[in-house]
Amino acid sequence: MAQTTTTVYYPEPGYDNWERKRPEELGMDSAKLQEAMDFASAHEAAESRDIPNTLGTDPINDHPHNEIIGPTKERTGVNGVIIRHGYIAGEWGDTERVDMTFSVAKSYVSTMAGLAFDKGLVRDVHDLVKDYVDDGGFDSEHNARITWQNLLQQTSEWEGVLWDKPDMADRRRGRDRELNEPGTFYEYNDVRVNRLALSVLRVLREPLPEVLKREIMDPIGASDSWEWHGYRNSYVTIDGREMQSVSGGGHWGGGVWASSFDHARFGYLFLRRGNWGGRQLISERWVDLATAPSEREPTYAYMWWVNPGGALFPSAPESSFFAVGKGTNLIWVDPEHDLTVVIRWISREHADGFIERVLAAINTSS
């Protein structure tokens, strides 16, 4: 059960200033919560900790365009933080370490698009991107039919080369297949996500990390340790200023690097429907749009994963939504139980077991 507006707690900036409470004070069982954290620690992801020397050998990247062109770093072990009613109920592992978070970055790209939407710089998500972005990327007859929603839902079928990576290099459902009409076919494709990030940069006309810091991360009290990288060749000039277009994942390096606690603040902002301490940082309208199941892939929204019928994580409530990245890096937002949970580097097949155990720790009357 969510708190009433008058009793909502928002943590002050700083790791030590986020108030901790005993699980029992938050309607949770300490022993069962510890069991959930122990379960996570016992099921570390199989991905090598030596990311710099193994990323290019990932099977997803096993094609002629697998060159890593953005920064990488070694990862830490399993860690996480469990927030209930805004307070820290449990934490374990190295939660302050800044790590790569891979496709969790997509939810940040989506949020930047949301800021452009809230500012009126994108008037309607159904508008054609070509009417806003004139850089050649949407000139072809095929690409000219792509809308903002198509890019956000990964149904754009955008065709081209960006930062020396052709879209076909990341066609998970057949690299030699014929393209479909924009909006009719879902495919997870990082080249197209990066095309969205560049398009949002064109609209906002300033580097996305600067916008994120000013509009989101500073107001929610995030640390100064997070980073958002692009590639060595992803620079453009806008209004006479050279800017790096950042990536929406770590597929070829780069992406959002952040601590579990900074990700928890970001997730908590969305749990509170874009409001932080009475200040609406991202509109409720955007939160609703960003977490609504798409027609072509019901578990995918605007670069947030959703859970209709428990299709993504059977143990989580249907109303839950997630930022998910390779690893598994996971921000889980659960409005039904007033939970924000960040879990890093757990094996994908055990993520639902962790979720099941966290929910088993909740007193159903609380």
pTM of the model: 0.96
Q: pLDDT digits over 47-84, tens only?
A: 999 999 999 776 655 567 889 999 999 999 999 999 99
Q: Judge if the upstream peptide bond of residue 328 is cis by omega within 30 degrees of 0.
A: yes
Place of tokens 């890019």: 151
CB-facing half-sphere around the CA of 320: CA atoms within 13 A: 27
Q: Is 48 left (phi over 0), alpha (psi -120 to 50) or beta?
A: beta
Q: What is the pLDDT of residue 59?
A: 62
Q: Do 101 and 329 touch, CB atoms closer than 8 A? A: yes
Q: Do 64 and 243 touch, CB atoms closer than 8 A? A: no
Which of the two residues, 155 and 363, has the higher pLDDT score?
155
C-alpha span between 274 and 114 (Å, rounded): 11
Domain 107-246 has CATH 3.30.110.40: no
Average pLDDT for 219-247? 98
Q: Do 162 and 194 touch, CB atoms closer than 8 A? A: yes
Q: pLDDT digits over 259-281, tens only?
A: 999 999 999 999 999 999 999 99
Domain parsing of the chain, residue ranges: 5-14+24-96+257-277+288-360, 107-246
In whole angstroms, how far apart are CA 11 and each of 174, 181, 202, 261, 339?
A: 46, 46, 34, 11, 15
Place of tokens 């969790």: 104
C-alpha span between 3 and 9 (Å, rounded): 9
Model confidence at 5, pLDDT cuts 50, 70, 90, reads very low
